[in-house]
C-alpha cells in the first residue's frame, strides 16, 4: 500500500510516497539499517483516482536530504522496502535502459562478457531476405534477395519495423544532442565501449546500419518493415528460421527514414574519424528518400488491403498510419536543421497554431519541433516561429501541470484516461521528455520536478505498485511478453526493458488483469502483450528521461 519510486531519490529534489489504503494520519522515515526514525510527518489530504475511485494520501519527505538507505512506515499499514537517497541515484536505471538495446540486437551473438547470464547465440542473420510481392512494382526486381542484417528487434517479437525504429532513433539521438557531455562518461559494457565514441551512439549505429539497407537503391523508397509473414513462436532468436521479407515501400517509413538519416548525418559529422563516410552516406540516403517521398507524398501502409492483393499474407505488427502530415514536418525539420536550407520547411505546414501532440510512432511532428527549438539560434529562426514553437511546448506542459495537486499519485501521468493507451509507460516517459524541454526553455523548476514525478511513476509510484523497468524495484516485472525472456530458461527477465504498462483495452484477453480500471489494468503475465510487452519506442523516452534527469539533478 506504500507506493514510491523503488529505486530512490535525489538529495535536493522533491520526495513523495503515496499511501493507498486507509491509514492514520502520520508516517515515519527510518534508517534502513539502524531502524532509527529520521523524519516524522503528517499525511496530506485525501485524493481520489478518477479511474478507480480509490483514495490515496501523500507522504512528503522532501526535507530529508541526507544520503542513505531508508524505509517509510505507516502505522497500521506496514513499511516500504528500502530505498536510497543519493546523488546519481538513477544512473544504473539510465545505463540499464540503454543496455536494453544491446539485448535487442539482431544478427549478433551476445557473449557472456557483455550479456552476463543472458548470453545467447546470434539470431536472424537476415543476410538472405526476400522481397515481398507488395514491394516489387517498381525499383528492385522480384527475384532479388537482399542482405538486411543487424538492427534491433522491435519488441517482444523478432521483426524490424522502420516506422517504429524512426521515433526510437529520433528520441535517442535527441537525447545525445540535448545532453552530449553526459555521454562522455557512460559505459554500458557493449562490444564497442571504449572505442572513443559514446556508447549511446555506438548502440544507435547498430540499428542505423540496418536502416540504411532498407532503402531501395533503385529508387530511394524505403521498405515499411522486415518481417516474417507471421510472428515467431516463443523461441530464442537462433531457433527462429522462418523466411523473412521486406514489404511495401511507403511514405511514412520513407519520411521517418529521412528524418533519422538527416539527424544521424548531423550527429556523426563530429565522428567522421571514427566512422569515415557514415555522415555523408546518411545525408545522401536522406536526400534520395526525400525525393522519393516528393513523388509519392501519401502512400499509406494498409496491411489488410495489401494482403488481399499479394502473397504471402503478412500479419505481424502493422504500424499503419492514416496521415503523413506529421512525418513531413519531422523530416522537413531534420533536413533543414542539418543542411541549413530553408526550402525544406518552406513547403510544409508546421501546424504551429495547433496544440502540441505527444510523440508516438504514428505522430512524430513534435520530434521536429524539438529539433527546431534546439537549433533555433543557429538556424536564425524568425522570432515569430521560435516563439510559436516555445509556446506550443510550454502550453502543453502547463496543461499537464494543471491540477497536479489533485492527482492521486501526484504525477501528471494519467490525468486523462487516454494516457492509459497501449504502451502507456511511454506516454509517461514522453511527457517527461516534453517537460524537460519546457524546463530547458524556461528554467522553471516546476517542469523539472514534474518530469521527475513521471520517472517516480515508472519506477513504482503508480496504481499498480509495479516498477515497470525490468531488473529494478522491490515489486518487479518478472514476466514481460518478450520472447528471449520467456524462452531462455532464466528466472530473471532481460534487464533494462520498459514494460508497456496499464492498458484498459486488454486486447490480449489474457487472464490475470485485476480489473478494468484504466490505471490498474496491468498484469505481469507473459501472455499480456497489450500491457506487459516491451518495445524499442518505449525504452527510448525512458532512457531519455532517466539520463536527462541524471544530467540535470546529478
Alpha-carbon distance of 77 to 72, in angstroms, equals: 11
Residues 11-30, mask of contacts with ligand 9MR (x by CB under 6 A): --------------------
For residue 246 the three cell numbers come to 521486406
Stretch that binds ligand 9MR, among 238-246, 404-412, 438-446, 527-535 (CB under 6 A): 527-535
- Smallest distance, ligand 9MR to C-beta of residue 322, A: 13
In 277-369, at which residue ranges do the beta strands (DSSP E only) sit?
none
Q: Among 508, 520, 533, 550, which one carries the catalytic annotation?
A: 533
Give how many residues touch ligand 9MR by CB under 6 A.
11
- Smallest distance, ligand 9MR to C-beta of residue 337, A: 27
Residue 164 · residue 152 · CB < 8 Å: no
Strand order in the sheet with 47-48: 2-3, 16-20, 55-60, 47-48
Residue 438 · residue 397 · CB < 8 Å: yes
Applying CB under 6 A, among 154, 202, 456, 550 the residue interacting with ligand 9MR is 154
Unique residue bearing C-alpha cell 521486406 = 246
Residue 504 binds ligand 9MR (CB under 6 A):
no
Residues 416-440 as b/e (b if ≥16 CB within 10 A, e otherwise) read: eeebbbbbbbbbbbbbbbbbbbbbb
Stretch that binds ligand 9MR, among 151-159, 245-253, 456-464, 518-526 (CB under 6 A): 151-159
For residue 165 the three cell numbers come to 525504429
Alpha-carbon distance of 185 to 16, in angstroms, equals: 30
- Smallest distance, ligand 9MR to C-beta of residue 238, A: 20
- Smallest distance, ligand 9MR to C-beta of residue 12, A: 36
Alpha-carbon distance of 221 to 407, in angstroms, equals: 46
165 vs 144, 233, 335, 535, CA distance in Å?
A: 24, 22, 18, 10
Between 192 and 533, CB nearer to ligand 9MR: 533
Residue 423 binds ligand 9MR (CB under 6 A):
yes
Applying CB under 6 A, among 422, 466, 522, 544 the residue interacting with ligand 9MR is 422
524 counts as catalytic = yes
Stretch that binds ligand 9MR, among 56-64, 195-203, 261-269, 317-325 (CB under 6 A): 317-325
Residue 157 binds ligand 9MR (CB under 6 A):
yes
Residue 100 · residue 495 · CB < 8 Å: yes
Residue, CB closest to ligand 9MR: 317
Residue 522 binds ligand 9MR (CB under 6 A):
no
Applying CB under 6 A, among 533, 544, 548, 551 the residue interacting with ligand 9MR is 533
Residue 420 binds ligand 9MR (CB under 6 A):
no
Q: Alpha helix (H) ranges present in 357-495?
A: 365-374, 376-379, 383-401, 424-442, 445-458, 483-487
Residues 328-347, mask of contacts with ligand 9MR (x by CB under 6 A): --------------------
Stretch that binds ligand 9MR, among 13-21, 152-160, 187-195, 516-524 (CB under 6 A): 152-160
List residues bridging with 534 in a β-sheet.
Answer: 499
Q: For residue 372, is it left (φ>0), alpha (ψ between -120 and 50) or beta?
A: alpha
- Smallest distance, ligand 9MR to C-beta of residue 396, A: 20
Q: For residue 310, is it left (φ>0), alpha (ψ between -120 and 50) or beta?
A: beta
Q: Among 508, 524, 526, 550, which one carries the catalytic annotation?
A: 524
112 counts as catalytic = no
Residue 348 · residue 328 · CB < 8 Å: yes
Residue 396 binds ligand 9MR (CB under 6 A):
no
Residue 535 binds ligand 9MR (CB under 6 A):
yes
Residue 155 binds ligand 9MR (CB under 6 A):
yes
Indicate if the alpha-carbon torsion angle 479, 485, 487, 492 is positive or negative.
Answer: negative
Between 397 and 499, CB nearer to ligand 9MR: 499
Q: What residue ranges bind ligand 9MR (CB under 6 A)?
A: 154-155, 157, 317-319, 422-423, 529, 533, 535
Catalytic residues: 524, 533
Amino acid at each position: 500500500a506504500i507506493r514510491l519510486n523503488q529505486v530512490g531519490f535525489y538529495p535536493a529534489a522533491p520526495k513523495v510516497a503515496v499511501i493507498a489504503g486507509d491509514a492514520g494520519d502520520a508516517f515515519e522515515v527510518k534508517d534502513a539499517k539502524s531502524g532509527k526514525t529520521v523524519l516524522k510527518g503528517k499525511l496530506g489530504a485525501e485524493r481520489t483516482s478518477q479511474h478507480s475511485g480509490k483514495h490515496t494520501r501523500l507522504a512528503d519527505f522532501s526535507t530529508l536530504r541526507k544520503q542513505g538507505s531508508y524505509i517509510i512506515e505507516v502505522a497500521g499499514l506496514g513499511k516500504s522496502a528500502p530505498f536510497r537517497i543519493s546523488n546519481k541515484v538513477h544512473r544504473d536505471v539510465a545505463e540499464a535502459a540503454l543496455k536494453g538495446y544491446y539485448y535487442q540486437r539482431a544478427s549478433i551473438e551476445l557473449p557472456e562478457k557483455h550479456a552476463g547470464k543472458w548470453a545467447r547465440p546470434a539470431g536472424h542473420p537476415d543476410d538472405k531476405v526476400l522481397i515481398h510481392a507488395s514491394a516489387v512494382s517498381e525499383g528492385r526486381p522480384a527475384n532479388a534477395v537482399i542482405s538486411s542484417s543487424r538492427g534491433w528487434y522491435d519488441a517482444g517479437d523478432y521483426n524490424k519495423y522502420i516506422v517504429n525504429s524512426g521515433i526510437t532513433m529520433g528520441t535517442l539521438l535527441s537525447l545525445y544532442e540535448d545532453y552530449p557531455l553526459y555521454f562522455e562518461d557512460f559505459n554500458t559494457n557493449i562490444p564497442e565501449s571504449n572505442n572513443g565514441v559514446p556508447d549511446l551512439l555506438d548502440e544507435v549505429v547498430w540499428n542505423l546500419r540496418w536502416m540504411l539497407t532498407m532503402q531501395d537503391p533503385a529508387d530511394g523508397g524505403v521498405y515499411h518493415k522486415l518481417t516474417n509473414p507471421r510472428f515467431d513462436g516463443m523461441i530464442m532468436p537462433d531457433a527462429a528460421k522462418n523466411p523473412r521479407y521486406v514489404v511495401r515501400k511507403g511514405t511514412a517509413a520513407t519520411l521517418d527514414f529521412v528524418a533519422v538519416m538527416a539527424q544521424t548525418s548531423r550527429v556523426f559529422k563530429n565522428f567522421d574519424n571514427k566512422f569515415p563516410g557514415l555522415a555523408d552516406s546518411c545525408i545522401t540516403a536522406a536526400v534520395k528518400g526525400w525525393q522519393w517521398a516528393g513523388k509519392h507524398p501519401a502512400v499509406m501502409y494498409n496491411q489488410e488491403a495489401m494482403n488481399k492483393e499479394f502473397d504471402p499474407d503478412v500479419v505481424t505488427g502493422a504500424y499503419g498510419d492514416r496521415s503523413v502530415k506529421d512525418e513531413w514536418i519531422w523530416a522537413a525539420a531534420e533536413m533543414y536543421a542539418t543542411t541549413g536550407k530553408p526550402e525544406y520547411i518552406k513547403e510544409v505546414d508546421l501546424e504551429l497554431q495547433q496544440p502540441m501532440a505527444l510523440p508516438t510512432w504514428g505522430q512524430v511532428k513534435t520530434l521536429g519541433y524539438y529539433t527546431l527549438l534546439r537549433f533555433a539560434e543557429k538556424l536564425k529562426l524568425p522570432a515569430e516561429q521560435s516563439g510559436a514553437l516555445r509556446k506550443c511546448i510550454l502550453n502543453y506542459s502547463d496543461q499537464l501541470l494543471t491540477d497536479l495537486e489533485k492527482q492521486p499519485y501526484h504525477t501528471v501521468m494519467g490525468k486523462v484516461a487516454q494516457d492509459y493507451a497501449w504502451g502507456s509507460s511511454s506516454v509517461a516517459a514522453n511527457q517527461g521528455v516534453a517537460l524537460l524541454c519546457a524546463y530547458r526553455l524556461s528554467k522553471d523548476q516546476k517542469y523539472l520536478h514534474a518530469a521527475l514525478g513521471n520517472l517516480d511513476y515508472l519506477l513504482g509510484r503508480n496504481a499498480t505498485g509495479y516498477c515497470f523497468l525490468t531488473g529494478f524495484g522491490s515489486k518487479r516485472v518478472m514476466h514481460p511478453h518478450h520472447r528471449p525472456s520467456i524462452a531462455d530458461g532464466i528466472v530473471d527477465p532481460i534487464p533494462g526493458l520498459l514494460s508497456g504498462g496499464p492498458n484498459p483495452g486488454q486486447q490480449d484477453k489474457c487472464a490475470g488483469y485485476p480489473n478494468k480500471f484504466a490505471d490498474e489494468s496491468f498484469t505481469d503475465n507473459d501472455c499480456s502483450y497489450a500491457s506487459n510487452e516491451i518495445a524499442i519506442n518505449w525504452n527510448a523516452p525512458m532512457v531519455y528521461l532517466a539520463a536527462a534527469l541524471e544530467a540535470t539533478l546529478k
